[in-house]
Structure 1
Amino acid sequence: MQPDAVPSMRERVAQLVLNGALFGLCYPLANHLAARAGVTRSVALPWDAALPFVPWMVLPYMTSGLLFALSFLLAESRAGLSALSRRVAFATVAACLVFAAFPVRFGFERPAVDAALPAWLFARLSAMDQPYNQLPSLHVAYCLIFWPALSAGRRAAPRLVLAAWLLLVAAATVFTYQHHLADVAGGALLGLLAIRALPATGAGSVGRTASRPVAFVYTLMAGLALLAWFALGGPWWLYLCASLLLVAWAYHRRNAAFLHKRHGRYPLWVWLLYAPYLGGYLLTWQLVRWRERHRPPFDRHSDRLWVGRRLSNAEAARLPADCAVIDLSNELSETAALRGRPYQHFPLLDLQALDARTAQPVLAAIAAHAGQGRNIYLHCAMGYQRSRRIAQLYEEYAKQ
């Protein structure tokens, strides 16, 4: 996919739904944990009491949901949509972890509201929210994140209107007695951190940054595991969090050999550290086998090259008898029936763009086997990306 291409409405809606679901899971859970603990602690400062309560400010405050939706639906590029989605997800999970680790509540009682419309809106707000989830303010963090997403490519007048709207929403957090000033400062820091740490990637940086979204996803899952530990307790969730962080670190460093696969197998200590990751891939492989049970597990790409996924022992028996095996999968142990054949392992990270330097040793190995008149079975985990891409590159390599 081209990062600068305009995303389809389906892509925009998918990212909106995913982030909405993430918020709908994490935010109420953090509220529930604070209510269950009976939190009374507040971060109110002396000058918070001097701020007036302005009932009509609930109107801009309640438009934050509209801004949330518009920021996704009006995204102008895939790179911008990806950056927005990652920033919102990061802010949501990071804020909810702070809510769970350091729960506070609003320090004042909200005055009664007489005007009909603000009173109705405050009633809706009270039905959806509680006086917890204070520091940092997600409203403020989201406003900062929405600005680059909604202002990109706009003329001066719409940008001015948007800036005023976002400032009103951020200011409304204190004038509706939803947040204290410390919460606003914390939300601003969180929003700036999300923008700084998760930049948009342009067309010229796809190869260099392909591993970053994958590392981000594993980091996000680690955060959710930690949030589950706050809610449920138990050492399993801490182990899961640590294991996922190790995977995220490996992707961040683009370390394809982090699982230390040797002769098609993993040492015991790797299983102990990465069991959730390895088990997840094994389950996915079984599901792919079931889904494609009516299709051949591999196909003949050229005269001596066969391409596919990791095989079962029964499937491996269908390969040519003299077939050498080139294994690109870093996430699955090799089938026992194939470990006895001429076997080479070139670990490649899943879901990452291949560059010429990484592919060169694999292409040379295929050429060496072909030069000896031997058939080659080239496979990755599921047979969708890495093995197919290497096979395409080998066609060009063989012509040269």
Structure 2
Amino acid sequence: MTWLAIPQDSPYGIHNLPYGVFSANDQPGRRRIGVRIGDHVLDAGAAARAVGAPSVLLDADTLNPLMAAGRRTWREVRGALTEWLADEAHRPAVAPCLLPLAEVELHLPFEVADYVDFYASEHHASNLGRIFRPGSEPLTPNWKHLPIGYHGRAGTVVVSGTPVVRPSGQRKAPADAAPGFGKSRRLDIEAEVGFVVGAPSELGTAVPMSAFREHVFGVCLLNDWSARDIQAWEYVPLGPFLGKSFATSVSPWIVPLDALEHARVAPPARDVEPLGYLDDRGGEPWGLDLAIEVSLNGHRISRPPFATMYWTAAQQLAHMTVNGASLRTGDLFASGTVSGPEVDTRGALIELTWNGENPVKLPDGTTRTFLEDGDEVVMTATAPGPDGSRIGFGEVTGRILP
């Protein structure tokens, strides 16, 4: 319980306390670490000073110093924040440090060091295989042996609400004799979940699955915008490049890993035995029961279930470091498109419309195969919390500009 008056069913109760970075209307140039509680943002550094607690990590203008401090510090800080908002004795000092959410601007909460995107949904990978390789096995031979991924562009990770300019690049349809250049005509979304690295690792040292919670600070929502026509022409033989690198949107709140204990579930049964460093059958399960919703122009078009993901974030972390690649504070790695078994649980338009064959119908009578200029995409998610509560992730939104 908290002394702050918030609805009992708020997904931003005291069991959540996600971190973000904000600026207030009275000081628009000053960025501060904030913690969401209900429809308020707690100025974390100011609250620490008000109660006489150490504030150096919370006085930063980005989450990176706090994330770099490691899990012991993360737990101490989270425990202190919970105490300040739960103990009535702290109310006189802490209450003045609360600002209405509507009166602040939210920023990218951390400096992104590196960005890796995976391909972990069997439903998504199978659907794309059936679309592009009809009559063949939908999954590539390596898919169930390792988490497939690619390196993205850290510098174009943007916070929710940042407009997305339609990208240009080379395109070549199968019937075209030669490639041409122009704006993407097949702009798509990918509903994903992002994992933010806090504590770094040494170069040349693999990070095992058992160390997942020692390195991962928290979780966010992510939209991996995709220009399918640019991607289709460029991705052989080295994979996505300009079709992905123009923008990746993330939600402004980072939900601490410790807030998701009640959301943890076993991953789906696997029919191929993984190699030892990816074998999680005897360890902690890191599947997560997240309920995602995707809306296009205010109309819900999909509800992808994250619990169906074949590869977990712990396996992904182990795989991307098994060759000795180091982790840095601020590394972001994403799950890949989240898709379920039903049509209305697919996390990308290319699946929802089956590569344009079955357009999505909107309430205004229009249809979409891919995104048009002016379209706005909104993704939200919640997860189970203690005592029947829900944990909210905020929104990741983006509007397409010409």
Task: State whether TM-score is above 0.5.
Answer: no
Compare relative contact order (CA 8 Å, sep 6+) and give the higher one, 1 or 2: 2
Query: Larger C-alpha radius of gyration, 1 or 2?
Result: 1
TM-score of the superposed pair, with normalisation by structure 1 = 0.24
The structure richer in strand per residue is 2
Say which structure is richer in helix.
1
